[in-house]
């Protein structure tokens, strides 16, 4: 066995072990999406309350919270009270909340909205195109869009009130750097 | 013997011709293109299945998007880029060859080349330097081999 | 005393006993001490009995639904059927580690009573190594990381098994097969280590563990096929192999072990490749541990990955210890292992085995790096990427074809080298068969060069096997005046290793054809139908009609079943794919309806349905040609391995004894 081969074997094994140790710091289910840090995509979708289409375009300097949900999604129901409280708090201000129904029937979505006290605008993403353009993996997922129209962060899994208000307050700050306001992740 | 050699050559040519014929280029249909592209995209709610293989709702919607883009006349690369813009490099099940992450494509080639080189040296070494064994050892080895082979037949 | 108390006590008692046995065996090996060996033997046996008792206790706790045991509460419920209750032993981490431990202890007890008699010093050292491993696993199951008997305040009812694991009886089959395969390879490994420790360069350890290696390889192989059958019948996407990390973890040691089973013949016949064979044994064993680590620690995401637990660092530590110790030993002993002599002609059996080994190792490295690559890239740059089927298929298929080719060539070449006349005699018929195979592939409409090449090579290999059998039978008929059937029987009986090997090759050929045909010829159609309507879904010459869509209630689960009627020229079948809802799962599990026939499978999936009024359902149909032959191929491989592993009549054992007398006297 030549010397270089012996050395190569030892180095390869050492590298393997280092990689495996580093792998412990990793959460395999925590996958980042591709849209954070990029301009939020515009969309036009029918509203659940039947009042016609809602167009979300280039934000005119408002902070936006996009929440993807469905009636079949149990963690969505869990996080809903936090969303309701946060919406009540910012109702009068210029923060925009939009709920986006994901992979669900219109009727079930309407019933969910009625039963759970969702009063912010909700729309039906019936073909999954908007979820795709935002890079949604599985719901619930909440996207925060800064005044500059850039997606500042994405929260996966049920969100709590503190995370919501902290992110919104931070994004409303005058010279906020969106990326500092909310980290990507959750669950 | 020449007759059997002739048969051998003809048979090998037949194999080559059949393989060559099956590899002839043809223009893929739209559906084949959708299959090919979705086979390379990762279903976002599955455990490593492709959009093509997964029966999930999410994969169905993505397949629809790909089919629509194909009819719109986008290239494979444009469609993949659109998915990458949404879900990052994670969504592609094999890294492109022309990127640093494409190094992974070199692994099998490098392993084969290195392995064959080492093996070939073993073969060559034998030819160049006959085993430095005593006559007794060689005789013992011969007996052993003969016995083992007799054993085999 | 409850079952859990009994299990805990048995495991706690086994641990010190295993440590004692390990020390006694090491002492006995070093000092050639008979009393030490006796002590180690009895400890090994007792450890096995105690761990067996713990397994019985776990089954007792499961069957009596003793929810005061956390494992039972998590993996069982009052209405879980008895069958799934029994096999829940391997439904989650702690139980499967317990199963692993008991198999290892069983192998250890076998070595203690049989192995140490055949080769006292080598066997005793190997016993010490094995008892060391048993100690590690006993340590695992007595720490909170993997203690199967952790007690809790009993809930009224348990969670029930993981839905995927209670959906199909095949779950009973593949995990124990795979574990047996993984664990039995500990024996060749322990002997290899013993031979390194003792500095015995001879091939006695090979002979002593040949059968273990073969059986372990065969169980692993059959387990892999059974596992893909399970995934085909349960996971509901219509495929059997997804290059999932767990699949990769199982195939890697199998690939290396296959290389080993061949190169070991070179060492036996020609006393070459000693270092190489030791390396292969070590690599195989290390890969079984690495695979277990990867899939049980939660560092990669997989269908099978159990929840993250403290067991990860422990398994990693074990892996590192195994690798460092064995590679260190190997490097230390290198000077003694140098081969005398070279391989010789490139057209000799040993040279083909060498090339075959290179391809196997390259294939393994590719799977390993492909599996780890996302981890490596994320560690280096933070980028997240995926390595999946497109990569593995593109890379492994050409390697597999190269192996198929070498599988036909190798056995046809004599040791030392072949003359041109031999080549012509051996290869004319197989190459002609390859031509027919290629033409057949084109005629039946196989798409793509790889599929056509698979047919050609499969015909090539099959012809070599048939040729070998024909020649063997003819020789016996002439020499011993036997009938063809008797001659075949005595070939298999008297030279099972060789002819069993050919049967294995035939099984691989069958599997290769099944894989190539099913991959290249699958037809998939998806359509939304209304139950009872005349609308048809057409796929591959079959008409599929949705006659009903109904909810079904069972004690432990709810189902929505689509009743399908399949009609076509060659078939009339009723299928019932379903979506299954388990109380502890948020997502429905798809349960496919499959009509398995020799020429193709009709694989139906209920993709979506109208949950309000059951007025429509989306059905996906896959018509998959020849896929059943993959399972049959696996079975043939198993049969061939049994033929090869069966003890052979006297003639061979006399020859083996002859080899041993020529080996240096022990000590």
Judge contact between C293 and C319, C-beta under 8 A.
yes
d(CA C395, CA C245): 16
pLDDT computed for residue A174 by the predictor:
59
pLDDT computed for residue B82 by the predictor:
95
Q: Is C404 helix (H, G, I), strand (E, B) or coil?
A: helix
B4 touching C, CB under 8 A?
A: yes
pLDDT computed for residue B123 by the predictor:
77
- Residues with Cβ within 8 Å of residue C399, at least 6 apart in sequence: B108, B112, C359, C362, C363, C366
Phi, psi angles (nearest 5°) of residue C431? -70, -35
d(CA C151, CA A96): 50
Residue B136 scores a pLDDT above 80: no
pLDDT computed for residue B104 by the predictor:
92
Q: What is the ipTM of this complex?
A: 0.88
pLDDT computed for residue C201 by the predictor:
61
Helix C93-110 vs helix C120-142: crossing angle, to nearest 10: 160
pLDDT band at B25 (very low <50, low <70, confident <90, very high): confident
- Terminal Cα distance for chain B, rounded: 25
* Tokens standing for residue B11: 């048979």
Give the distance from residue A24's alpha carbon to the nearest chain C alpha carbon, in angstroms. 6
Cβ contact (<8 Å) for B90 and A32?
yes
Using only the alpha carbons of chain C, give its radius of gyration: 27
Q: Which residue has the higher pLDDT, A181 or C466?
A: C466
pLDDT computed for residue C417 by the predictor:
83
pLDDT computed for residue B128 by the predictor:
41
Cis peptide before C546 (omega within 30 of 0): no
Using only the alpha carbons of chain A, give its radius of gyration: 21
Cβ contact (<8 Å) for B61 and A128?
yes
Q: Which residue of B has its CA nearest to C358?
A: B115
pLDDT computed for residue C425 by the predictor:
87
pLDDT tens figures, C69-90: 999 998 888 888 889 999 889 8
Q: Long-range pairs for C315-318 at CB < 8 Å and ≥24 separation?
A: C315/C289, C316/A17, C316/A20, C316/A21, C318/C136, C318/C289, C318/C293
Residue B29 scores a pLDDT above 50: yes
- Residues with Cβ within 8 Å of residue C264, at least 6 apart in sequence: C206, C210, C213, C277
Which candidate, C334, C317, C404, places its Cα nearest to that of C363?
Answer: C404
Which of the other chains make 3 or more beta carbon contacts under 8 angstroms with chain C? A, B
* Tokens standing for residue C484: 């063809």
pLDDT tens figures, C492-534: 988 889 999 999 999 999 999 999 999 998 999 999 999 988 8
Residues of A near C (CB-CB distance < 8 A)?
1, 6, 9-10, 13, 16-24, 26, 28-29, 31-32, 74, 105, 107
Please give the mean pLDDT across all residues of chain C. 88
Judge contact between C628 and C597, C-beta under 8 A.
yes
- For the residues C460-470, what does the mean pLDDT come to? 95
Cβ contact (<8 Å) for C313 and A24?
yes
Disruptive mutation site among C301, C376, C435, C453 for chain B (greatest number of B CBs within 10 Å): C435
**Least CB–CB distance from B88: residue in A34, A129, A134:** A34
Chain C residues 269-328 with a CB less than 8 Å from chain B: 269-271, 301-303
pLDDT computed for residue C666 by the predictor:
35
Cβ contact (<8 Å) for B14 and C438?
yes
User: In C446-470, which positions are buried (b, 16+ CB within 10 angstroms) versus exposed (e)?
Assistant: bebbbbbbbbbbbbbbbbbbebbbe
Looking at chain A, the whole-number percentage of residues with pLDDT higher than 70 is 91
Cβ contact (<8 Å) for B118 and A5?
yes
Q: Which residue of C has its CA nearest to B149?
A: C269
Give the distance from residue C27's alpha carbon to the nearest chain A alpha carbon, in angstroms. 31
d(CA C274, CA C263): 9
d(CA C605, CA C591): 7
- For the residues C355-378, what does the mean pLDDT come to? 93
Q: Which residue of A has its CA nearest to C332?
A: A6
Judge contact between C170 and C87, C-beta under 8 A.
no
d(CA B17, CA B45): 44
- For the residues C32-43, what does the mean pLDDT come to? 91
Give the Cβ contact number of residue C525 at 10 Å.
15
pLDDT computed for residue C565 by the predictor:
93
Residue C27 scores a pLDDT above 60: yes
- Terminal Cα distance for chain C, rounded: 50
Judge contact between C349 and C270, C-beta under 8 A.
no
- For the residues C27-42, what does the mean pLDDT come to? 90
pLDDT computed for residue C665 by the predictor:
36
Which candidate, B147, B141, B121, A2, places its Cα nearest to that of C340?
Answer: B141
- For the residues A123-134, what does the mean pLDDT come to? 93
pLDDT band at C445 (very low <50, low <70, confident <90, very high): confident
**Least CB–CB distance from A17: residue in C301, C320, C384:** C320
- For the residues C177-203, what does the mean pLDDT come to? 90
- For the residues A110-122, what does the mean pLDDT come to? 93
Looking at chain C, the whole-number percentage of residues with pLDDT higher than 70 is 94
d(CA C222, CA C638): 6
* Tokens standing for residue B144: 């052993």
Residue C662 scores a pLDDT above 50: no
pLDDT tens figures, C272-313: 888 889 999 999 999 999 988 887 776 776 555 445 567 888
pLDDT computed for residue B4 by the predictor:
81
pLDDT band at C379 (very low <50, low <70, confident <90, very high): confident
Cβ contact (<8 Å) for A135 and B88?
yes
pLDDT computed for residue C414 by the predictor:
87
Give the distance from residue A132's alpha carbon to the nearest chain B alpha carbon, in angstroms. 7
Q: Which residue of C has its CA nearest to B151?
A: C652
Q: How many CB pairs (< 8 A) connect B and C?
A: 208
Q: Which residue has the higher pLDDT, C379 or C639?
A: C639
Please give the mean pLDDT across all residues of chain B. 84
H or E element at residue C551: strand C542-554
A-chain CB neighbours of B61 within 8 Å are 103, 127-129, 132
Judge contact between C47 and C21, C-beta under 8 A.
yes
pLDDT computed for residue C588 by the predictor:
78
pLDDT computed for residue C130 by the predictor:
96
Using only the alpha carbons of chain B, give its radius of gyration: 27
Which candidate, C663, C644, C647, places its Cα nearest to that of C265?
Answer: C644
pLDDT computed for residue C554 by the predictor:
84
- For the residues C610-632, what does the mean pLDDT come to? 92
Which of the other chains make 3 or more beta carbon contacts under 8 angstroms with chain B? A, C
Judge contact between C253 and C182, C-beta under 8 A.
yes
Which candidate, A116, B60, A105, places its Cα nearest to that of C613?
Answer: A105
Q: Is A143 helix (H, G, I), strand (E, B) or coil?
A: strand
Judge contact between C548 and C531, C-beta under 8 A.
yes
Phi, psi angles (nearest 5°) of residue C242? -120, 10
Which of the other chains make 3 or more beta carbon contacts under 8 angstroms with chain A? B, C
The β-bridge partners of C368 are none
* Tokens standing for residue C494: 């008297």
pLDDT computed for residue B153 by the predictor:
40
pLDDT band at C136 (very low <50, low <70, confident <90, very high): very high
Give Cα separations from A95 to A62, A134, A164, A183, C43 (angstroms). 6, 19, 12, 19, 72
Q: Quote the pTM value.
A: 0.91
Residue A161 scores a pLDDT above 50: yes
């Amino acid at each position: 066995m030549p010397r270089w081969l012996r050395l190569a074997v030892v180095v390869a094994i050492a590298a393997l072990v280092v990689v495996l140790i580093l792998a412990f710091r990793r959460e395999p289910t925590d996958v980042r999406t591709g849209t954070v840090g990029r301009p939020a995509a515009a969309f036009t979708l029918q509203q659940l309350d039947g009042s016609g289409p809602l167009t979300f375009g280039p934000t005119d300097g408002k902070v936006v919270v996009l929440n993807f949900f469905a009636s079949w999604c149990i963690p969505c129901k869990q996080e809903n009270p936090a969303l309701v409280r946060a919406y009540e708090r910012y109702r009068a201000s210029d923060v925009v909340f939009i709920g986006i129904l994901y992979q669900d029937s219109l009727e079930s979505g309407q019933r969910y909205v009625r039963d759970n006290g969702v009063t912010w605008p909700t729309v039906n993403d019936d073909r999954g195109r908007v979820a795709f353009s935002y890079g949604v993996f599985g719901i619930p997922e909440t996207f925060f869009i800064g005044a500059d129209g850039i997606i500042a962060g994405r929260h996966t899994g049920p969100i709590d009130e503190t995370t919501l208000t902290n992110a919104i307050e931070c994004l409303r700050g005058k010279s906020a750097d969106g990326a500092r306001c909310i980290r990507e992740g959750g669950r | 013997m020449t007759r059997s050699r002739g048969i051998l050559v003809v048979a090998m040519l037949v194999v080559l011709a059949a393989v060559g014929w099956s590899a002839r280029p043809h223009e893929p249909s739209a559906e084949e293109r959708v299959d090919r592209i979705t086979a390379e995209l990762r279903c976002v709610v599955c455990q490593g299945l492709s959009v093509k293989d997964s029966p999930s709702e999410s994969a169905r919607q993505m397949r629809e998007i790909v089919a629509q883009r194909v009819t719109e006349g986008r290239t494979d690369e444009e469609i993949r880029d659109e998915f990458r813009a949404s879900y990052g490099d994670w969504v592609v099940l094999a890294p492109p060859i022309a990127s640093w992450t494409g190094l992974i494509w070199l692994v099998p080639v490098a392993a084969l080349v290195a392995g064959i080189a080492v093996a070939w040296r073993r073969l060559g070494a034998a030819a160049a330097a006959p085993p430095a064994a005593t006559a007794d050892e060689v005789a013992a080895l011969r007996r052993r081999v003969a016995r083992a082979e007799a054993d085999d037949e | 005393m409850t079952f859990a108390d009994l299990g805990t006590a048995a495991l706690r008692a086994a641990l010190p006993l295993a440590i004692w046995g390990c020390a006694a065996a090491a002492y006995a090996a070093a000092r050639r001490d008979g009393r030490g060996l006796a002590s180690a033997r009895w400890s090994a046996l007792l450890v096995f009995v105690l761990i067996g008792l713990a397994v019985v206790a776990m089954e007792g706790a499961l069957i009596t639904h003793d929810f005061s045991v956390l494992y039972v509460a998590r993996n069982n419920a009052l209405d879980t059927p008895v069958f799934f209750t029994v096999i829940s032993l391997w439904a989650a981490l702690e139980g499967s580690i317990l199963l692993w431990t008991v198999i290892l202890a069983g192998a250890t007890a076998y070595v203690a009573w049989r192995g140490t008699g055949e080769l006292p010093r080598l066997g005793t050292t190997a016993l010490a190594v094995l008892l060391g491993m048993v100690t590690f696993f006993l340590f695992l199951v007595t720490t909170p990381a993997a203690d199967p008997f952790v007690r809790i305040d009993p809930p009224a009812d348990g969670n029930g098994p993981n839905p995927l694991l209670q959906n199909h009886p095949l779950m009973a089959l593949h995990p124990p097969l795979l574990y047996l395969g993984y664990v039995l390879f500990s024996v060749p490994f322990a002997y290899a280590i013993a031979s390194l420790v003792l500095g015995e360069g001879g091939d006695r350890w090979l002979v002593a563990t040949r059968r273990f290696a073969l059986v372990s390889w065969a169980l692993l192989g059959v387990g892999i096929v059974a596992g893909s059958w399970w995934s085909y019948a349960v996971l509901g996407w219509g495929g059997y192999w997804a290059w999932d990390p767990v699949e990769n973890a199982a195939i890697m040691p199998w690939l290396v072990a296959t290389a080993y089973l061949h190169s070991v013949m070179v060492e036996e016949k020609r006393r070459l490749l000693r270092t190489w064979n030791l390396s292969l044994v070590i690599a195989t064993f290390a890969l079984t541990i690495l695979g277990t680590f990867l899939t049980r620690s939660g560092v990669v995401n997989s269908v099978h990955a159990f929840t993250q637990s403290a067991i990860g660092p422990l398994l990693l530590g074990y892996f590192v210890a195994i690798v460092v110790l064995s590679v260190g030993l190997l490097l230390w002993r290198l000077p003694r292992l140098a081969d005398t002599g070279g391989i010789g002609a490139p057209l000799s059996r040993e040279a083909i085995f060498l090339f075959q080994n290179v391809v196997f190792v390259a294939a393994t490295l590719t799977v390993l790096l492909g599996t780890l690559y996302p981890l490596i890239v994320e560690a280096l740059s933070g980028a997240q990427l995926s390595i999946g089927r497109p990569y593995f298929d593109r890379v492994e298929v050409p390697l597999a074809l190269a192996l198929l080719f070498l599988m036909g060539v190798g056995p046809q070449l004599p040791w030392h080298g072949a003359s041109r006349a031999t080549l012509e005699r051996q290869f004319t018929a197989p190459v002609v068969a390859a031509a027919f195979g290629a033409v057949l592939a084109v005629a039946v409409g196989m798409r793509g060069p790889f599929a056509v090449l698979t047919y050609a090579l499969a015909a090539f290999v099959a012809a070599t096997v048939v040729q070998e059998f024909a020649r063997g039978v003819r020789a016996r008929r002439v020499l011993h005046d036997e009938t063809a059937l008797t001659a075949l029987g005595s070939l298999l009986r008297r030279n099972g290793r060789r002819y069993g090997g050919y049967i294995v090759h035939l099984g691989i050929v069958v599997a290769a054809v099944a894989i190539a045909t099913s991959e290249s010829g699958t037809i998939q159609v998806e359509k939304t139908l209304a139950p009872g309507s005349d609308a048809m879904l057409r796929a591959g010459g079959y008409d599929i009609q949705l006659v009903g869509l109904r909810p079904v209630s069972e004690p432990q689960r709810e189902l929505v079943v689509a009743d399908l009627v399949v009609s076509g020229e060659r078939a009339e079948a009723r299928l019932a794919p379903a979506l299954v809802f388990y109380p502890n799962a948020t997502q429905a599990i798809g349960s496919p309806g499959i009509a398995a026939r020799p020429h193709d499978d009709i694989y139906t999936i209920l993709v979506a349905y109208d949950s309000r009024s059951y007025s429509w359902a989306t059905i996906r149909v896959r018509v998959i040609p020849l896929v059943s032959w993959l399972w049959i191929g696996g079975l043939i491989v198993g049969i061939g391995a049994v033929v090869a592993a069966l003890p052979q009549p006297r003639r061979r054992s006399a020859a083996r004894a002859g080899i041993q007398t020529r080996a240096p006297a022990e000590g």
